[in-house]
């Protein structure tokens, strides 16, 4: 390999690394700015605030009573009474309720992670689409320049008497078709630019850096390892697993709610002065302190608590079945993504070869036409093939990278 080729390869590798760094920068911006992703994170934070709420004791009860007609006691009339009481649920109930809230919050965190993975996939997919459209614009403009050269060549051949006026008309028709295609690509580019910048939540006209040549994403695991990783790491699966655990804890909560609750408190009664002269100063108006007061709440209506337990069991079973169904769905999506990846690999190889053959054929046809003015229609047909294969090659590159991004999204990356 010559030193010139080595330099070219190194420049391409450096450009590829820079482009990947730029895409990673866009992903970081999307992760920080996207409002939908921020909303999912706020929902997770809100769910976390439920944990201390359900783990706290019930508020203590303070009561005050005033006697309109004070009843007389031996030491004086009762004027008012106050009481303070605190309820205590069965042992472990508060901890079990905290466990339920914690698992629900973890499921919300997985929803956030899923949203982030989906956002990153959408950003990558839009970026690859922008690359293809930009390459389509560049290639179309290059072909318009080439057709302009063909037009001049056709005019020269016609004026020299070795060509036909039809050749000029054919070129003009091809130019008109390509100009229409270019206008469509420019409109598509703006649409994709707005879509991409909206994902990043930046201004619609923010500039986007697109590489001159797209790097090739690689699949680092084999087919079986990829599917195993999806089943273990997919955020939807992990979300369902946390919901299963939350309903398992909810079953424990329901059982404990069917057990007795306790109340402990004190009553304090204030007594006024009595007119009874027989009372000593120490006894007259002495307050009455009743301590302690203990109560117990017995849950007699068992149907309610049994139904709560059954509900938790049913919902736990339903979540388990949903997990199984989700794994089947993910398996289907993975196989489609893997098929697209393999198809992208084949198309890249195919169109590299086809483009090489078409360019060689075009050179031969141009040489023949320059010599004797024959087969100009074949020249234009081969030029269309060169354009087609150039576009198809870049589309295959973009599709292949998008399929890798989709599989990594299923893996929770």
What percent of the chain lies above the pLDDT cut of 90?
Answer: 67
Compute the distance between CA of residue 107 and CA of residue 44 in angstroms, rounded to an integer: 8
* Span 356-367, average pLDDT: 93
Contact 275, 67 (CB under 8 A): no
Given a cut of 70, is residue 69 above it in pLDDT? no
Domain contains 269? no
Domain contains 96? yes
pLDDT at 6: 45
pLDDT at 275: 55
pLDDT at 390: 96
Q: Which of 6, 15, 103 is closest to 54 using CA atoms? A: 103
Domain contains 21? yes
Per the structure, the complete domain to which residue 322 belongs is given by 3-33+89-259+299-410
How many domains, in total, are found in the chain?
1
Q: Which of 228, 214, 142, 217 is closest to 181 using CA atoms? A: 142
Element (H, E) at 264: strand 261-271
Domain contains 81? no
Compute the distance between CA of residue 243 and CA of residue 126 in angstroms, rounded to an integer: 33
* Residue 231 belongs to domain with CATH number: 1.20.1600.10
pLDDT at 10: 42
Q: Which of 223, 37, 187, 194 is closest to 116 using CA atoms? A: 37
pLDDT at 5: 42
| pLDDT tens digits along 12-51 | 444 556 778 899 999 999 999 999 999 999 999 999 999 9
pLDDT at 84: 85
| pLDDT tens digits along 264-295 | 988 877 766 665 655 555 565 455 656 677 88
Is 277 or 145 the better-scoring residue by pLDDT? 145
| pLDDT tens digits along 89-113 | 999 999 999 999 999 999 999 999 9
What is the pLDDT of the chain when averaged over all its residues?
88
pLDDT at 71: 65
Domain contains 105? yes
Domain contains 378? yes
Is 388 or 218 the better-scoring residue by pLDDT? 388
Domain contains 80? no
Tell me which of 84-88, 244-248, 306-310 is least confident: 84-88
> Before 223, cis peptide (omega within 30)?
no
Domain contains 244? yes
Query: Cα-flanking dihedrals φ and ψ of residue 288, to 5°?
Result: -105, 120
Is 397 or 63 the better-scoring residue by pLDDT? 397
Q: Which of 59, 58, 60 is closest to 97 using CA atoms? A: 58
Question: What's the pLDDT band for 353 if we cut at 50, 70, 90?
Answer: very high
Interior angle at CA 388, CA 382 and CA 394, nearest 5? 140
Compute the distance between CA of residue 200 and CA of residue 318 in angstroms, rounded to an integer: 37
């Amino acid at each position: 390999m010559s030193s010139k080729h080595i330099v070219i390869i190194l420049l391409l590798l450096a450009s590829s690394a820079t482009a990947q760094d730029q895409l990673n920068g866009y992903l970081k911006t999307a992760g920080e700015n996207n409002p939908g992703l921020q909303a999912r994170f706020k929902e997770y934070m809100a769910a976390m605030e439920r944990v201390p709420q359900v783990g706290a004791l019930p508020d203590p009860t303070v009561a005050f009573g005033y006697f309109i007609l004070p009843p007389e006691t031996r030491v004086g009339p009762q004027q008012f009474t106050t009481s303070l009481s605190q309820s205590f649920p069965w042992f472990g109930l508060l901890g079990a309720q905290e466990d339920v809230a914690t698992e629900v919050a973890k499921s919300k965190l997985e929803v956030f992670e899923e949203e982030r993975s989906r956002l990153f996939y959408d950003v990558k997919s839009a970026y690859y689409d922008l690359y293809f459209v930009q390459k389509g614009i560049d290639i179309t403009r290059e072909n318009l320049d080439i057709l302009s050269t063909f037009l001049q060549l056709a005019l020269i051949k016609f004026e020299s008497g070795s060509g036909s006026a039809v050749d000029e008309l054919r070129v003009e028709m091809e130019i008109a078709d390509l100009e229409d295609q270019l206008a469509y690509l420019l409109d598509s580019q703006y649409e994709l630019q707005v879509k991409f910048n909206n994902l990043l939540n930046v201004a619609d006209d923010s500039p986007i850096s697109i590489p001159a040549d797209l790097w090739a994403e690689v699949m680092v695991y084999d087919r079986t390892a990829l599917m195993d990783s999806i089943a273990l790491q997919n955020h939807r699966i992990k979300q369902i697993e946390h919901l299963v655990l939350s309903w398992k804890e909810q079953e424990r909560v329901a059982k404990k709610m069917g057990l007795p609750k306790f109340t402990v408190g004190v009553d304090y009664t204030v007594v006024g002065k009595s007119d009874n002269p027989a009372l000593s100063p120490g006894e007259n108006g002495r307050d009455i302190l009743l301590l302690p007061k203990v109560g117990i709440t017995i849950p007699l209506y068992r149907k309610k608590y049994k139904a709560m337990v059954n509900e938790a069991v049913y919902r736990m079973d339903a979540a388990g079945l949903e997990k199984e169904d989700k794994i089947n769905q993910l398996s289907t999506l993975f196989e489609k993504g893997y098929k697209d990846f393999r198809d992208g690999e084949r198309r890249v190889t195919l169109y590299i070869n086809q483009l090489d053959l078409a360019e060689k054929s075009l050179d031969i046809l141009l040489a023949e036409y320059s010599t004797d003015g024959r087969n100009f229609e074949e020249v234009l047909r081969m030029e269309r093939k060169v354009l087609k294969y150039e576009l198809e090659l870049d589309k295959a590159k973009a599709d292949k990278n998008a399929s890798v991004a989709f599989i990594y999204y299923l893996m929770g990356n």
